Structure 1
Amino acid sequence: MKRYILTGTPGAGKTTVLRHLRERGYATVEEAATSVIARSRTRGRTEPWTHDDFIDQIVGLQRRRQTRPPRPGVTVQIYDRSPICTHALSTYLGREPSDLLLAELDRIAREAVYQPQVFFIRDLGFCKPTAARRISYADSLVFEQVHRDSYRAFGYELIDVLAAPAAERADAIIGALAAGRLLAQPTTRGNTVAAEPSGRQPEPCQPAGIAKEDGWSRSV
């Protein structure tokens, strides 16, 4: 099983991109933090991230979803965030990693649970608040950098998915997977997978592309 992580800036459209991938037949795994927040609010916790057990609840749900047996024939899964994101969240909240989080980080490294390449959804130039996302655009960029730092610290390679309509971003990810020969059939939609230098800020209407942080570039 090859498990890829889809992560990125809050409000960047990550969940919508994941929905497009699911609609195109990919096995996807939903974000745990959103589920924990929704469940906590049904129990009267309006701000669950202020509670001591918030991080551990996310870690526990992530592990249960990751270890759940896949459907027969599934060889690739795409995850909406991972325990590395939970580490970034813990850091952003000013907390030391819990014992449960540290144990899970050790497990996924020891077992090589996730692929070392991580798709990072870049911001759209704004961040729309939701019931589960109460963060300004400026703070979302800080949160983004914390995520980048966490993934780098744990040895993952970030592949930027540039700002574009969600369907084009999904096409870019599919193209990248196909170019890596992870699919039985490559995409036939004719999209371009193009890298940009890591320091470049994409325009909101820029065609979707893939950019590795080391400046690697190619078109497919």
Structure 2
Amino acid sequence: MRRYVLTGTPGAGKTTLLRGLAACGHTVVEEAATDVIAWAQARGEDEPWTRESFVDEIVALQKRRQLTAPTADAVQLYDRSPLCTLALATYQGRVPSSALTAEVERVTTQGVYERQVFFVRNLGFCEPTAARRISFRQSLEFERIHEDTYRAFGHELVDVPAGDLARRIATVEAVLPERRAE
């Protein structure tokens, strides 16, 4: 099984790209943080990212999704990974929890994700949403932390420049191994 990660700054179009890749027939795994935020906000919690357990909830959901993802296809594409969650903790000024540290250790020592990571570049703006309340300037700092985190763990960043969806899909597909015959 080859698992590839899409990462980058909030609002860069990772989810749109992931959905485009799914429409092309690729197996994809959705981002965990957005769902953790949405579930908490549906229960009336306005800013769940301020909660101490926030990062650990993301880590738990990421791990569950990775371990239960369909295994029929030889390639899977993930919207973020535990290294992104480590970047989030760094951005928030949090000391990584034991759960986060253990999960980063697991995925790095077991080589769960490919060394090549698709780094989806910012679009030149960051549109606020209920789950994304940072400015474009803040998103650029977050982007830098993601780059530094992945490089610190020896990953090769495959640049996915800003552009139309078709071009971004083509950039990713050019790197992926051919899918097995169906």
- TM-score bracket relative to the smaller structure: over 0.9
Hey, what's the Cα distance between the residues in 2 that align with 1:116 and 1:176? 12
* Distance in 2 of aligned mates of 1:93 and 1:69: 29
Structural RMSD (CA): 1.1
Deviations 1:82-136 (A, max 9, x none): 0000000000001000000000011111211000000000111111111111111
Give SS of 1:170's match.
helix
Equivalences for 1:1-220 in 2 at 5 Å?
1-72=1-72, 74-177=73-176, 182-184=177-179
- Give the structure with higher Rg (CA): 1
Distance 1:22 1:39 in 2: 23
Q: Secondary structure at the match of 1:112?
A: coil
Partners in 1 of 2:16 and 2:166 — Cα distance?
Answer: 9
Letter in 2 for 1:16: T
Aligned length: 180
- Richer in helix (by share): 2
Unaligned runs of 5+ in 2: none
Same amino acid, percent of matched pairs: 57
Distance 1:29 1:21 in 2: 11
Q: Which runs of 4+ in 1 moved over 2 A?
A: none
Cα distance in structure 1, aligned partners of 2:69 and 2:146: 28
Question: In structure 1, what is the Cα distance between the partners aligned to 2:58 and 2:131?
Answer: 14
Measured after TM superposition, the shift of residue 153 of structure 1 is 1.1
Structure 1 unaligned segments of length 5 or more: list them: 186-220
Name the SS of the counterpart of 2:140 in structure 1: helix
Q: Give the Cα–Cα distance (whole angstroms) in 2 for the partners of residues 93 and 20 of structure 1.
A: 30
What is the TM-score when the length of structure 1 is the normalising length?
0.80
Listed one character per residue, the Cα deviations across residues 56-77 of structure 1 (whole Å, up to 9, x for unaligned) are: 00000000000005153x1100
Aligned residue for 2:119, secondary structure, equals: strand
Deviation of 1:36 after TM superposition, in Å, equals 0.2
**Counterpart AA for 1:183:** E
TM-score, normalising length from structure 2?
Answer: 0.96
